[in-house]
A and B are shown apart, each in its own frame.
Chain A
């Protein structure tokens, strides 16, 4: 597996959709935070959207599954669903690791 180190200037905007403080959502947030610290250095921002508070935001990003992580920047848009417990899959999904 080859690591593709993020370019220094690249800014990562991530959005995590959750629905309340369920175990899955808490786990997803913890997993995400750990992963970002390890792989993205300081170049990232995480926005957590609780759909229980803002249900109108669900359709914009076509959210069905909870939790869903959306990579808004850098493009293209990526979606990762689940509690992000499978780190390798998350890295693949975020294009931090190339398949192969």
Chain B
């Protein structure tokens, strides 16, 4: 049983169940619709890339539109829903269906006035479906205080999935919860999902235990001097790294170095940009001597740029998951995470990041997150919320000395390695970041030092 309010995606979930069954598992299906005509349904799911007419022609799916018009029907005396059973049976036999969808069977309550007969017949129908060994997805409109308007969940006892579509702060999010699933230990939380071109997507469950394999493999940060500060060998593969610093401290440049190095090793990378467009970002990086365009051309580097406010947090997470699944990268950069944090509460963002990091860790993908901090005074406090999720935390800051503002890098923490405790100053030059170099003194300063 799939229940939810109007527009929550019930029909979609149901039709996808049939289409996937027909195309991927060779399990034909019957779609009995009480709400939409075959034409409407076909048009609706075509936008998701499902070619319903072709499946119908190949006898993989049969759609039966049951139209109910109460004005046309006069009730006199005792009746049952034998006609419905016969139609369903006929449809099931015609394609040897093992999957059945009834969408939305509660419409029967509009068409017939005798609720007593309907309840008995529906209970009989569900038993009948079960005895036939078909898997049935039954959709129901969400009621007040009950899962479905007519309490159908009492009859369908194997599994109940609740879909929810709500709008928080003008951002819509879809959530799915398994209310009941007999004979299984199921997740009880609400899981975000999205509906897009490829259908319905639920986010992978946050792993309950912390059991991902910790790699001993190391990957270079892209800067020899930084690798030296990190126990001499760079980051652990599959670890998560936070780079925080105030505006202009070189977070993106550092991330670009990391990506550049990964591509050099022939590894694929996905770079999520939340502030700049890819072309702008690549232009900027070219100015410090990093030609990222070349990696994009080679198919090693993928950019994914989006305005965070455009989507809800979950949608971002889903979009990121999809990109990661598609590109199968060895490294991922999220630049910056602040834009994400602006969408949701800290708790929600943390949960989102946790999901993402869990996924990345299990897939042994090294992840680098940049975080913009307000100013030197806040540079550590703003990130404490998420820093516990990170294995390595690099801090970038301006060092004001001798009439100069130099950039400095400091390894605040790095789990599992002996790291340097030095604040290394660095320069951003047209040949990239130069760590450990000192700014050449200006002429006037040189004069003075003499």
Contact = CB atoms under 8 A, between A and B. Distances in A.
A77 B72 contact: yes
Contacts of B112: 65, 81
Interface in A11-49: 17, 19, 22, 24, 27-28
Nearest to B84: A64
Interface residues on B, range: 20 to 34
Given A64-B111, A79-B74, A51 B86 contact: yes
Interface residues on A, range: 20 to 34
A85 B76 CA distance: 6
Interface in B70-95: 72-84, 86-87, 89-90
Contact of A65 (B67, B79, B89): B79
Q: Is the interface of B mostly helix, strand, loop or mixed?
A: mixed
28 contacts: A19-B83, A19-B86, A24-B80, A51-B86, A55-B87, A55-B89, A58-B83, A59-B64, A62-B68, A64-B66, A65-B80, A65-B82, A65-B83, A66-B80, A66-B83, A66-B86, A67-B79, A78-B72, A80-B75, A81-B76, A82-B76, A82-B77, A83-B76, A83-B78, A83-B79, A89-B74, A89-B75, A90-B76
A97 B108 CA distance: 28
Contacts of A59: 64, 87
Given A51-B82, A64-B66, A82 B90 contact: no
Interface of A: 17, 19, 22, 24, 27-28, 51-52, 55-56, 58-59, 62-68, 77-86, 89-90, 92-93
Given A24-B79, A51-B82, A81-B79, A63 B87 contact: yes
Given A55-B90, A62-B67, A64-B68, A92 B74 contact: yes
Nearest to A28: B77
Contacts of A27: 77
B119 to A, nearest CB: 14
Contacts of B72: 77-79
Given A68-B79, A85-B76, 14 more contacts: A19-B86, A24-B77, A52-B86, A55-B87, A58-B87, A64-B108, A65-B82, A65-B83, A81-B75, A84-B76, A85-B77, A85-B78, A89-B76, A90-B74
A80 B77 CA distance: 10
A62 B74 CA distance: 14
Contacts of A92: 74
B95 to A, nearest CB: 14
B86 A58 contact: yes
B236 to A, nearest CB: 63
A81 B76 CA distance: 6
Given A59-B64, A62-B67, A64-B66, A51 B83 contact: yes
